[in-house]
Structure 1
Amino acid sequence: MKLYAERPTRRTAQAVADLLALLLTAFAVWLGLTAHEQVLKLQAPGDGLVDAGSSLTRTFDSAADNADDVPLLGKALAGALHTGSAAGTKLADAGQWQIEAVGQLAFWLAAVLIAVPVLFLLVTWLPLRWRFVRRATAGVRLRDLGEAGQDLLALRALTHQGLSRLASAGDVTTGWRERDPDVLARLAHWELERLGLHA
């Protein structure tokens, strides 16, 4: 498998593109995790509400239990105190809801910050690299076949080279049909050059 071109300029460009893709992925992961941590700090007020609500509920429940022992007014007083206990429960529930909402926000924000750049690379950079690897690997195999591979490379050069280059090279089609070794070698060289490979 041919991962990089053999020609220095193209190989350098590929290495730089790969490095940039790796750096972009690492930066996206770092940014996503950092944003996740920072957003989770917004859970502190929710934690405070849960603690305050739980404490309020315990206090009112304890007072209601003690109020039951008061003669005559004990039941009414205990009922009123249990109402305060219900308010503490609602306060704790509101805090819990805030904690869960912030947790979900932190998760989805991190997921988006990581996924968008990675998906961009999967749609743009990865197909280009994969196409190069496939073509360059096939080009190396054809080059290694010798004369038979040279014929196929020459044929591909006829179909992939620009018309201006073919026209300026003289009658290469006649030379290809007559199997002129010089013309075949030149066409194969052009195709290997297009693939980033040495002849």
Structure 2
Amino acid sequence: MKWYADRPPRLLWQVLADLLAVAWTWFWVKVATAVGDSVRALRAPGDGLSDAGQSLTDTFGDAADKARDVPLVGDRLAEALERGRSAGGTLSDAGQAQVQAVESTALWLTIALIAIPLAFVLITWLPLRLRFARRAAVARRLRDQGRLDLLALHALNTLSLRDLAAFPGDPVEGWRRQDPEVIQALAARRLRANGVRP
């Protein structure tokens, strides 16, 4: 495949378009990671809730273990403290759920902010680049094989009526007669149109 044109004006536009596509992708990756980091900062309350719940669980658990040693009321006291441990576990689970929700939101938001602009680039820029590469490669191969008559025929089929009318003489008749000058001129136009040096 031939990715870039031989002629400087078109080559410049292609390089600029490629650089713009890379810059566009890099920009959105940076934006997406920054937004993801900002959303992840919202997990602090969930972390605090989880830590507080864990601390409550540990504190009530230790108290329940020690309460069992109290004569007569130890078991009932430990049972009441176990409910406190359970409440701490519930609080910790709520904090973990909030952290998971924030992490999930940050991940999917980051993916969306990268995927949508990247899809835009792949839908607009990539097909144009691939089409140019294929056409330029075929045109260069025909030129290298000396098949200028095919290039000239293609030029006859693709030139505008204005260009055909401005062509000196009758280009169709010249192509039929295999006039080397007409074939060379038509092939050169087709090669230039495909970004290949004649």
- TM-score (normalised: structure 1): 0.94
Matches within 5 A, 1:150-169: 150-169=148-167
Render the CA deviation track for 1:61-114: whole Å, top value 9, x for unaligned. 121222223333322222211111111000000011111111111111111111
Q: What is the CA–CA distance in structure 2 between the aligned matches of 1:54 and 1:168, rounded to whole Å?
A: 86
Residue 174 of structure 2 aligns with an amino acid whose one-letter code is G
RMSD over aligned CA atoms reads 1.3
Render the CA deviation track for 1:8-31: whole Å, top value 9, x for unaligned. 111110010000001111112222
Residue 96 of structure 2 aligns with an amino acid whose one-letter code is Q
Q: Match of 1:91?
A: 91
Q: What is the CA–CA distance in structure 2 between the aligned matches of 1:38 and 1:126, rounded to whole Å?
A: 32
Q: Match of 1:176?
A: 175
Render the CA deviation track for 1:109-133: whole Å, top value 9, x for unaligned. 1111111111111111111101101
Runs (5+) with no aligned partner, structure 2: none
Q: What is the CA–CA distance in structure 2 between the aligned matches of 1:89 and 1:197, rounded to whole Å?
A: 72
| Secondary structure of the structure 2 residue equivalent to 1:124 | helix
Q: What is the CA–CA distance in structure 2 between the aligned matches of 1:161 and 1:198, rounded to whole Å?
A: 18
Matches within 5 A, 1:61-140: 61-140=61-140
Q: Match of 2:144?
A: 144
The reply on whether 1:22 has 2:17 as its aligned counterpart is no
Q: Match of 1:185?
A: 184
Query: Comparing 166-175 with 181-190, which one deviates more in the overlay?
Result: 166-175
| Secondary structure of the structure 2 residue equivalent to 1:19 | helix
Query: Comparing 87-96 with 177-186, which one deviates more in the overlay?
Result: 177-186
Q: What is the CA–CA distance in structure 2 between the aligned matches of 1:195 and 1:180, rounded to whole Å?
A: 23
Query: Comparing 61-70 with 10-19, which one deviates more in the overlay?
Result: 61-70
Runs (5+) with no aligned partner, structure 1: none
- TM-score (normalised: structure 2): 0.94
Query: Comparing 70-79 with 25-34, which one deviates more in the overlay?
Result: 70-79
The reply on whether 1:49 has 2:49 as its aligned counterpart is yes
Residue 119 of structure 1 aligns with an amino acid whose one-letter code is A
Query: Comparing 131-140 with 61-70, which one deviates more in the overlay?
Result: 61-70
Aligned residues: 197
Structure 1 position 159, deviation (Å): 1.1
Q: What is the CA–CA distance in structure 1 between the aligned matches of 2:78 and 2:66, rounded to whole Å?
A: 8
Residue 162 of structure 1 aligns with an amino acid whose one-letter code is S
